[in-house]
Amino acid sequence: MAADPEANPESVARSIVLRQLTNSPKSRLQLARKLAERNVPEEVAEAVLDRFEEVRLIDDADFAEMWVRSRSQSRKLARGALRRELADKGIDTETAEQALAQVSDDDERNAARDLVARRLRAGTDLSDRAERDKQTRRLASMLARKGYQPSTAFRIVGEVLDETLAQEPGSYGAGEYGGPEAHGPEAGGPEAEDIG
């Protein structure tokens, strides 16, 4: 929708920015792109955006903090993915890092564990090595798409699968993945029974 050529370009720009900010918070770059789409002259757009920044209706630091908080909680995104999203929205590196500081290693780890536990398909036979490997790849790929480092993704998936396997009734505890302590007298196997 093109702006009315008779209208004051500054009024048009202010109106566009206010409408955009009413819908949801936006970064300065997002608003600049929207103004460019609407053919607002660049110098007018810059002047309007500067004024909105002066009165703190545009604040990239506040936007970045809100974005990180929202996306890390609702989408369980890791800092890597959040960093890329902030860069796409025009947030500078320093501002992005300050916003990302609110997500701790523990927060990220707990979010990943929660995601894996929720996405693990019920009824999956984790004692079957081929099925376990398939689930490991599927779940680690899902975490990688959410910005988790591959080593972290595989470690967390392995932990959750081990815990799930240990809790399944009739399973062999940690099974072939649990090491030697999963078998033998301590595990309550046949060697533990008194035969005589």
Domain-embedded: residue 164: yes
Q: Are residues 113 and 166 in the same domain?
A: yes
For residue range 14-28, list pLDDT tens digits in order.
999 999 999 999 999
Q: Are 173 and 166 in contact (CB under 8 A)?
A: yes
Q: How many structural domains are present in the chain?
A: 3
Tokens coding 122: 């019920």
The reported pTM is: 0.75
Q: Are residues 70 and 85 in the same domain?
A: yes
d(CA 50, CA 182): 65
Least confident interval from 63-77, 139-153, 164-178: 164-178
| Cβ contacts of 2 within 8 Å, gap of 6 or more | 38, 39
Q: Are residues 96 and 141 in the same domain?
A: no
For residue range 87-120, list pLDDT tens digits in order.
999 999 999 999 999 999 999 999 999 999 999 9
In angstroms, the first-to-last Cα distance of the chain is 90
Exposure pattern of 3-27 as b/e (b: 16+ CB <10 Å)?
A: beeeeebeebbbebbeebeeeebbb
Q: Are residues 138 and 94 in the same domain?
A: no
For residue range 26-70, list pLDDT tens digits in order.
999 999 999 999 999 999 999 999 999 999 999 999 999 999 999
HSE-CB for 58 with a 13 A CA cutoff: 23
Q: Are residues 121 and 85 in the same domain?
A: no
Which residues constitute the domain of residue 90? 60-100
Residues across the chain: 196
Tokens coding 100: 């990302």
Domain-embedded: residue 117: yes
What does the CA dihedral 83, 84, 88, 90 come to, rounded to 10 degrees?
30
